[in-house]
């Protein structure tokens, strides 16, 4: 159950959800390394909580470098084109060395060498988006001056297809490469239909691909509301709760109830549904109390939507 309390409690629940997703990524990778999903999950778990670059002086951070022996082993595997071992060695360290971009380059090359082109594309997409979100990370180094990204990694990132991350001037008109809000709604509905026909896993993969073209943090939030709804309807409340807690953190952090009440209400509806589904059955239980707090906030924003949940 979700503990009662403030945003600090929500952060704890989020980390627990990320830990579960991390274990899922490992299991899927071990079962079938050719699928894009484990690489997407691995990077989501590693990078989702990184909001800014580490402090640096002359591009050198205080982060300790990877072990020299590990660096040497990876380089030897790469030169020998020992793709299977290189892939496992690189992927197993993505969540350990969050800023070491060479790991993703090694995974990309290994996947291409093994002929797993869709998975290789997933690694390239996720890494490119990460670098665009944390602009300049590829130019920084560890505290021994070892770069986060070698020259070959920088060349790879520079040659990757550009990812559009424009902003919008209004809620309905897209920037270049961005989606309109009605496009997001249509994508979510299509994912729901896909889930009914092909299963939740295919629907999640498809919706993840659509989210990459969101074009703004606002529409990224809308996609995550969609993920929460999709998982809830598929009776995967365990995973939906991770999205719900993340939505709540963002609502609080950005004061959406004040500045974007309609958007906040969308998120609060899905959060309420997840909490109702995980009700611990005790009138004063932690989940019940959390649900009451969220329901009260939703009632003030959108009483009609609150009534639809009762």
DSSP letters, the chain, are: -PPSSSHHHHHHHHHHHHHHHHHHHHHHHHH-TTSSHHHHHHHHHHHTT--SPPPEETTEESPPPPPHHHHHHHHHHHHTT-HHHHHHHHHTTTTTSTT-THHHHHHHHHHHHHT-HHHHHHHHHHHHHHHHHTTTGGG-B-TTS-BSS-HHHHHHHHHSPP------SSSSS--TTPPPHHHHHHHHHHHHHHHHHH-HHHHHHHHHHHHTT--SHHHHHHHHHHHHHHHHHTT-HHHHHHHHHHHHHHHHHTTHHHH-HHHHHHHHHHHHHHHHHT--S-TT-HHHHHHHHHHHHHHHH-HHHHHHH-
Q: How far is CA 56 from CA 59, 99, 262, in A?
A: 5, 13, 39
End-to-end CA, the chain: 21
Return the domain boundaries, the chain.
7-159, 178-308
Residues 6+ apart with CB under 8 A from 171: 181, 218
Q: What does each of the 310 residues of the chain score in pLDDT, given as a tens digit?
A: 444 555 566 677 777 788 888 888 889 899 999 999 999 999 999 998 888 899 999 999 999 999 999 999 999 999 999 999 999 999 999 999 999 999 999 999 999 999 998 899 889 989 998 998 888 999 999 999 999 999 999 999 887 654 433 333 333 344 334 567 778 888 999 999 999 888 899 899 999 988 888 877 888 899 999 999 999 999 998 899 888 988 999 898 888 888 788 889 999 999 998 888 776 555 556 777 888 898 899 898 888 888 777 6
User: Token pair for residue 102?
Assistant: 């060479």
């Amino acid at each position: 159950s979700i503990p009662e309390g403030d945003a600090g409690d929500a952060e704890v629940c989020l980390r627990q959800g990320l830990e579960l997703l991390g274990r899922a990524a490992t299991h899927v990778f071990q079962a079938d390394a050719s699928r894009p999903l484990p690489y997407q999950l691995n990077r989501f778990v590693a990078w989702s909580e990184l909001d800014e670059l580490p402090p640096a002086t002359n591009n050198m951070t205080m982060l300790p470098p990877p072990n020299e022996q590990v660096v040497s082993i990876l380089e030897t595997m790469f030169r020998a084109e020992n793709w299977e071992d290189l892939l496992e060695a690189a992927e197993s360290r993505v969540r350990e060395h969050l800023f070491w971009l060479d790991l993703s380059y090694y995974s990309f090359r290994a996947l291409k060498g093994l002929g797993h082109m869709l998975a290789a594309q997933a690694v390239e997409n996720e890494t490119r988006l990460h670098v665009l979100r944390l602009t300049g990370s590829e130019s920084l180094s560890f505290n021994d001056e070892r770069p986060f990204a070698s020259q070959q990694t920088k060349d790879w990132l520079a040659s990757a297809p550009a990812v559009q991350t424009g902003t919008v001037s209004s809620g309905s008109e897209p920037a270049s490469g961005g989606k309109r809000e009605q496009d997001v709604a249509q994508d979510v509905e299509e994912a729901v239909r896909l889930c009914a026909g092909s299963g939740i896993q295919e629907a999640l993969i498809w919706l993840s691909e659509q989210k990459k073209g969101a074009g703004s943090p606002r529409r990224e939030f809308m996609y995550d509301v969609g993920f929460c709804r999709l998982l809830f309807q598929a009776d995967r409340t365990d995973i939906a709760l991770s999205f719900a807690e993340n939505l709540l953190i963002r609502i609080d952090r950005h004061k959406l109830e004040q500045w974007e009440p309609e958007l906040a209400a969308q998120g609060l509806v899905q959060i309420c549904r997840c909490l109702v589904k995980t009700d611990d059955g005790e009138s004063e239980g932690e989940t019940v109390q959390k649900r009451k707090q969220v329901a009260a906030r939703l009632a003030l924003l959108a009483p009609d939507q609150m009534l639809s949940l009762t």
